[in-house]
Amino acid sequence: MRSVLIGAALFSLGGLSALFVKEKFKSILFILFAALAQVCILPGVIQVLLSGGYLEMQLSFSEPIGVSFVRLDPLAALFALIISLGSFLAAVYSHGYMKMYSGESAELSSYFFFLGLMSSSMLLVVLVQNALLFLIVWELMSLASFFLVNYEHKKEDVRKASIYYLVAMQIGAAFLLAAFGWSSALTGSLDFNSFQSVVSSTGAYSVFIFILFFLGFGTKAGFVPLHTWLPKAHPAAPTGVSALMSGVMIKTGIYGILRILLLTGTPDVRLAYGVLIISIITGIYGIANAIAQTDLKKLLAFSSIENIGIIGMGIGVGMLGLVYNNPLITSLGFLGALLHTVNHFIFKSVLFYGAGIVYSQTHTRNIEKLGGLNNSLPLTSMMVLMSSLAISGVPILNGFVSEFAIYIGIAKSFSIDSIAVNIAALMGLSGLALIGAMALLCFTRLYGICFLGTPRSHVHSPSEEKIYSLLLPMAFLVVPMILIGIVPMLAISLVTSTVGLFLPGASTIVWLEIVSLMTTVSTSLAVFVLFIVFFLAVRKFLLRNKSVQVFKTWDCGYQQESSRVQYTGSSFAQPILQLVAELVPQKIQVHKDQVLFPVHASFESHAQDVSERVFIQPAVRLLNKFLNKFSWIQSGRMQQYILYGLLFLVALLLWIWSGK
């Protein structure tokens, strides 16, 4: 346990040391510290995951924190694994990516400092078991990531995005504060284990407290409608940070929900339905918006929201299994959710890293301007293709395995004899299918428009792709993508003990069933691969002495070739967006000369985030109206503020004396 804590501290130390070295050594030094941290953390983590035990240590702080346990149980270990690896990969990636910002020595120092702080605090978040200490490290994580998002603070939209992010995080923290405060007041202690009596169904307010926790952690995770900060913050941050936030940081929200669920035991059935419904809505909303985006990173941010929805569906299914005391459904649901957490970390990181490479080479994130990058960035293109396939749930890659587990969990719940459950299961089944199909649309659009075809406009054409620090993290992640897809048992053996935490008693029979199922799936997938190889060989054989001419694309005899005739991203998405127009409203501006023979015309369409218009803006307007009445308090005069202090001091003294 001590080594894990040391590893966590090493990240911060690395960031701190980066302040003191010359600019070109900052990233290398940080990578060194991060690598050392891996050596400290990973052995303990793997040991806990494989053995199912836990490591614990007791720390004593002065009041009011008191005694705090730091425990590495299988749930914490799984998240610690992705946090640790993700931070290391982000460090490696930053080495190559931040070269774009060379010369800004002060800003680079702050970048690595806060990157180290963020990694350490994320690790501590999953380790501490004391409510107050948890809130402290949670805030630390939010603040560190705020400064990272605000890296390019000279641009106004980056500043606005980071402030929005900060406010959203504070709102989530407020919910958490309320939830922790209430629980702690009811039990009189700050330790997580003592909250068991409060959140389990015997507690009087357990439903409300769970909802507060869910709202707090859900803001960080990105459930609708608390997700509005995600599409703003992720594009504004530098790519290494976006990947870390999207792949790792939002999962700490999921961790929080799961930790509370562990304490809950058997949840209330309404909570299970609630989580399931919200997750379905989140998934559909996320992917529908992703389809409408033309900014590469905003698209990926919305796709993260969609995947959080899928993870939430897995959690909801697991909760239903707990309610109806069905260990198979419980294990499948949580297995799917946890596996998807890991899978999403893998493929979303690769996607973001690829987007960063595209941006650093072409200097644009607008997919309407890109195209044909397959020729200039072949390695990136291959890895992005695999991640796009994985995120759409294509078999042979890892995305399919987690979605498969969730599907089976939902399908098995049809055997529960309750009509509400059956309807919920149908919603889950069709919702997940819809999400999967829309993800297919979204990522064929992403990959097809950016990497295939021909360049749609004159962007800065990519010069050199072989920057290894940018490519290596992607390549490192592609390996488990394929491995988990074909041999899911590798990943499942890591997740076994975590899922086991949720099952009330030991249920090995259920586990054997799942294992045999997954083995059969993996054998079938091997057969699929064989078929593909067979037909590729047949094709080669058939063409062995035939002529294979290379000519231009069939153009119906049209002579004026242009890359602009290609379908753009918005055109590709237009049919489906027309169908879901209420979900993703488009703001369309058309300008045409109002004369008989117009010469100039322009068309612009922007996708808007509905939940902002419906939820956030009215709330903000109401709040503004109310708070403007108090604006006289801030007059700008320093003496007035000191007067406040003086009055407070006098009042305090009088209050103390009257009390005595």
Partner 1 sequence: MILKALLFLFAAFSPLLFIGFINKTKAWWAGRKGASVVQPYYDFTRLLRKGEVISKTTSFVFRCAPSVNIAAAFFALLFIPMPLIGSIVSFPGDVILFAYTLAAAKFLLVLAALDTGSSFEGMGASREVTFSTLIEMAFFIVLGTLALLTNQISFEAIFAMLTVSAGYSLLVKILLVASLFIMLLTEGSRVPVDDPATHLELTMIHEVMILDYSGPDLAFMVYAAAMKMMLIALLIANLCVPPYVSSITATVLFLGVLIVLSVAVGAVESFIARSRMSHVPQFIFLMTALSLTAFAVVAFFLRGGLS
Partner 2 sequence: MTDILIILLGTSMLYVFAVSRIEAYVKTLAFQGFLLFLLVIIDIQEIDWLNIAFLSLETLVIKTMVIPYFLFTVIRKNEIAREVEPYITQFYSLIIASAIFIFGFVAAFWAATTNAGIKPLYFGVSIMLIVSSLFLIVNRKTIITHILCYMMLENGIFLLSLSVANELPLLVNLGVLLDLFVGVYLFVIFFNKIQEMYDGSRIDELTDLKDE
How far is the C-alpha of 175 from the C-alpha of 212, rounded, in Å? 6
State in angstroms the smallest separation of the CB of 640 from partner 2: 8
> Which class for 633: exposed (0-12), middle (13-18), buried (19 or more C-beta within 10 A)?
exposed
Taking CB within 5 to 8 Å according to partner kind, which of partner 2, partner 1, none is near residue 634?
partner 2
CB 108 within 8 A of CB 98: yes
537 forms part of the interface with partner 2 (CB under 8 A) = no
Per-residue tokens: 417: 């004899």
Considering Cα of 181, then 185, then 188, then 192, what sign does the dihedral take? negative
CA dihedral 311, 314, 320, 324 (to 10 degrees): -150
Chain positions 449 to 508 lying near partner 1, rule: CB under 8 A, are 449, 452-454
Contact letters (x/-) for partner 2, 607-636, by CB under 8 A? Answer: ---------------------------xxx
State in angstroms the smallest separation of the CB of 377 from partner 1: 12
Taking CB within 5 to 8 Å according to partner kind, which of partner 2, partner 1, none is near residue 625?
none
In angstroms, how far is CA 219 from the centroid of its own chain? 12
Tokens 């990694």: give the residue: 119
Taking CB within 5 to 8 Å according to partner kind, which of partner 1, partner 2, none is near residue 653?
partner 2
Considering Cα of 235, then 239, then 245, then 248, what sign does the dihedral take? positive
Closest to 279 in 3D by CA, of 302, 248, 311 = 311
Q: Determine the straight-line distance between the first and last CA of the chain, rounded to whole angstroms.
A: 48
Q: Which is nearer to partner 1, 194 or 376 (CB)?
A: 376
DSSP code of residue 553: P
Per-residue tokens: 337: 């959710």
State in angstroms the smallest separation of the CB of 623 from partner 2: 16
* Strand partners for 72: 55
State in angstroms the smallest separation of the CB of 128 from partner 1: 39
Chain positions 421 to 480 lying near partner 2, rule: CB under 8 A, are none
Taking CB within 5 to 8 Å according to partner kind, which of partner 2, partner 1, none is near residue 624?
none
**In terms of DSSP H, where are the helices of 265-377?**
269-292, 296-323, 327-362, 373-376
638 forms part of the interface with partner 2 (CB under 8 A) = yes
Q: Which is nearer to partner 2, 505 or 645 (CB)?
A: 645
659 forms part of the interface with partner 2 (CB under 8 A) = no
Q: Which is nearer to partner 1, 420 or 623 (CB)?
A: 420
650 forms part of the interface with partner 2 (CB under 8 A) = yes
Listed ranges 343-351, 417-425, 584-592, 643-651: which one lies at the site for partner 2 (CB under 8 A): 643-651
How far is the C-alpha of 462 from the C-alpha of 387, rounded, in Å? 21
Chain positions 426 to 445 lying near partner 1, rule: CB under 8 A, are 426, 429-430, 432-434, 436-438, 440-441, 443-445
State in angstroms the smallest separation of the CB of 660 from partner 2: 6
511 forms part of the interface with partner 1 (CB under 8 A) = no
3-class DSSP assignment, residue 40? helix
Other beta carbons within 10 Å of 356: 26
Taking CB within 5 to 8 Å according to partner kind, which of partner 2, partner 1, none is near residue 603?
none
Q: What angle do CA 402, 403, 405 make, to 5 degrees?
A: 65
Which of 423, 537, 643, 651 contacts partner 2 by CB under 8 A?
Answer: 643
CB 317 within 8 A of CB 413: yes
Chain positions 569 to 608 lying near partner 1, rule: CB under 8 A, are 571-576, 579
Number of residues binding to partner 2, judged by CB under 8 A? 16
639 forms part of the interface with partner 2 (CB under 8 A) = yes
Taking CB within 5 to 8 Å according to partner kind, which of partner 2, partner 1, none is near residue 637?
partner 2
